[in-house]
Structure 1
Amino acid sequence: MDLKELLLLQFIAHLCLDYFFQTNKLAKQKNTIGFKSSFLYWHGLACFALAWIFSLQLGFALAAAIIAITHFLTDGFKLNLIKSKYFGRYAFFIDQAIHLIFLTIVVVLFDKWHGISPSIGVPINFKYLLVITGYLVCLKPANIFIREVFKVTQIQVSSDNEMPNAGKVIGVLERILTLTFIIVLQYSAVGFLIAAKSILRYGNNETLKTEYVLIGTMLSFGIAVIAGIIINFF
């Protein structure tokens, strides 16, 4: 294992922590009452555990503790950021950027001062880790990212005739298919997928709703395409 693989493992741990191991309800509670949230403290402990486990080395305990503490403090003070007149709408992006910056700094300094020496002799393949990361990003994180982009740009359209969460499921499926097609270099299949969705979803006279769906679709496909390009690059 080298630095880039440890960084990627820690990023996967972060994805699991912030997107798959907490519900929207618990995340909202954390963002609403900050340090008064009991879940925030469990979240901090889970951050330490995941960072340590995904490092695959016992000597990473102190680094994992630092990552957990900075994650805990960032989430705790996020309430103040949300209430900010100028930065409130960007709270999600600022919060995630701070988490990733601290995570990167800690891992780089750990490599410099301690060195990377896995306690478990498990072969790590960087490209396989990238593929796993790409698919993880295309699931719940991408849905939340797109939702926050709409929130920042203040785009909102009522959708009384739509099934609850249907858009999320469609988005996940299209990103998984798009990423798979790009990894296996079947770019024409991506074009067919976009064309098929265009025919099915945009054949109506509701201009505002059509534009809303189009923006979401382009963001969704964009995430999968960028993930696929990065994976193929390495």
Structure 2
Amino acid sequence: MVLEKLLLLQFIAHLCLDYFFQTDKLAQQKNTIGFKSSFLYWHALACFALAWLFSLQVDFAFAAAIIAFTHFLLDGFKRYLNNSSYFGRYAYFIDQAIHLIIIALVVVLFHKWRGINPAVEISINFKYLLIITGYLVCLKPANIFIKEVFKATDVQVSSDNEMPNAGKVIGVLERILTLTFIIVSQYSAVGFLIAAKSILRYGNNETLKTEYVLIGTMLSFGIAVIAGIVINLF
């Protein structure tokens, strides 16, 4: 296993932990009461287990413990960041950036001092791991990222005639399709998808709502396009 593969596996472990293995309600509980949340301790334990498991080697246990402990501290203190008058709106981005920086540092230092000698060598190559990561990012993580961008920029619009969570489902589907088209080099299909959504969603006179949808659409397609470009680079 090479360093890049271990880094990517740890990133996948982080995606699973913070986006797929916790509900929005439990995440909100952590963000609200910090160290008083009983779920936070289970979250930290799951962080250790996933980091160790995805490393595919026994020697990574101490590194996994460091990742889990720092994750525990960051999530515990995040309540104060959320309550900050200036940094509160950017708490999500600051928190995620620090998590990823710590993971990268721990993995690089582990590679330098211990080397990478997995107990189980997976045959899947780096590009296929990137593809898996790209699809994972295009699911729940992208929805949360877009929501936090709206929150950070104070972009809001009220609507009384839309189905609950319909926008999230549409966003996931369009990102998966876009990423798939880019991976197979069908760029014209991406343009057709954007045009089709424009016809369906922008044919109204609600200017604020149209601009809101346009921002969300550009962010959604942008995430999928960037993921596709990164995958194709390899």
TM-score (norm 1): 0.99
Other-structure match for 2:113: 113
Structure 1 counterpart of 2:15, which letter? L
**Cα displacement string for residues 135-186 of structure 1 (whole angstroms, at most 9, x for unaligned residues):** 0000000000000000000000001100000000000000000000000000
| Deviation of 1:134 (Å) | 0.2
| Deviation of 1:22 (Å) | 0.3
Moved more, 117-126 or 176-185: 117-126
Structure 2 counterpart of 1:142, which letter? A
Other-structure match for 1:10: 10
Other-structure match for 1:169: 169
Contact kept, 8 Å, 1:52 with 1:58, in 2: the verdict is: yes
Structure 1 counterpart of 2:34, which letter? G
Task: Quote the Cα distance in structure 2 between the aligned partners of 1:41 and 1:194.
Answer: 43
> For this pair of structures, how many residues does the alignment match?
234
Other-structure match for 1:86: 86
| Deviation of 1:46 (Å) | 0.2
Q: Where does 1:177-216 land on structure 2 (aligned, <5 Å)? A: 177-216=177-216
Other-structure match for 2:232: 232
Task: Quote the Cα distance in structure 2 between the aligned partners of 1:185 and 1:9.
Answer: 26
| Deviation of 1:122 (Å) | 2.2
**Cα displacement string for residues 105-150 of structure 1 (whole angstroms, at most 9, x for unaligned residues):** 0000000000000001322410000000000000000000000000
Other-structure match for 1:72: 72
Contact kept, 8 Å, 1:34 with 1:78, in 2: the verdict is: yes
Structure 1 counterpart of 2:90, which letter? Y
1:51 equivalenced with 2:51 (yes/no): yes
Structure 1 counterpart of 2:230, which letter? I
Task: Quote the Cα distance in structure 2 between the aligned partners of 1:88 and 1:140.
Answer: 22
| Deviation of 1:85 (Å) | 1.1
RMSD: 0.5
Other-structure match for 2:40: 40
**Cα displacement string for residues 162-216 of structure 1 (whole angstroms, at most 9, x for unaligned residues):** 0000000000000000000000000000000000000000000100000000000
Quote the sequence identity (%): 84
Structure 2 counterpart of 1:145, which letter? F
Task: Quote the Cα distance in structure 1 between the aligned partners of 2:56 and 2:116.
Answer: 10
| Deviation of 1:49 (Å) | 0.2
Structure 1 counterpart of 2:228, which letter? G
